[in-house]
């Protein structure tokens, strides 16, 4: 896992992003295409679960494994506040 100072620096970088264009430039540079795809997929999983969609339907709709959906469900249940913040804005 990342050193706490490194994580804090990364979070500070995200906090300084101004708008969609800067965010896109940064995430496309810092993440590989595969990582970016995984993060985008995880967001779709969490959104659907938050809307009350059953896990099996999420799996079928996104064409992914049930393990990925279950992992997304666990992350949503951990409820650190980040998902909720953006799910309410979406």
Whether residue 80 sits in one domain with residue 58 = yes
Tracing tokens 């799910």 back to the chain, one arrives at: 87
Residue 33 has pLDDT above 70, yes or no: yes
Q: Going by C-beta distance under 8 Å and a sequence separation of 6 or more, which residues neighbour residue 45?
A: 58, 62, 64, 68, 69, 72, 73
Q: Which domain holds residue 62?
A: 32-90
5 and 42 housed in the same domain: no
Considering only residues 28 and 86, tell me which one the structure prediction assigns the higher pLDDT. Answer: 28
Same domain, 21 and 40: no
Per-residue pLDDT, 67: 96
pTM score of the predicted model: 0.81
Same domain, 15 and 57: no
Residue 2: what pLDDT?
Answer: 63
Instruction: Please check whether residues 52 and 10 belong to one and the same domain.
Output: no
> Residue 40 to residues 5, 33, 45, 50: CA-CA distances in angstroms?
26, 11, 9, 15
What is d(CA 75, CA 42) in angstroms, rounded to the nearest whole number?
10
Number of domains in the chain: 2
Q: Write out pLDDT tens, residues 49-83.
A: 999 999 999 999 999 999 999 998 988 888 777 88
Mean pLDDT across the chain: 91
């Amino acid at each position: 896992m990342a050193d706490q100072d490194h994580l804090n620096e990364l979070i500070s970088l995200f906090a300084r992003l101004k708008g969609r264009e800067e965010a896109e430039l940064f995430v496309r540079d810092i993440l590989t295409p595969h990582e970016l795809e995984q993060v985008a997929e995880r967001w779709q999983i969490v959104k659907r679960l938050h809307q009350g969609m059953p896990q099996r339907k999420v799996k079928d709709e996104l064409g992914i494994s049930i393990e990925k959906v279950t992992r997304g469900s666990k992350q949503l249940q951990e409820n650190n506040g980040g998902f909720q913040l953006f799910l309410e804005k979406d």
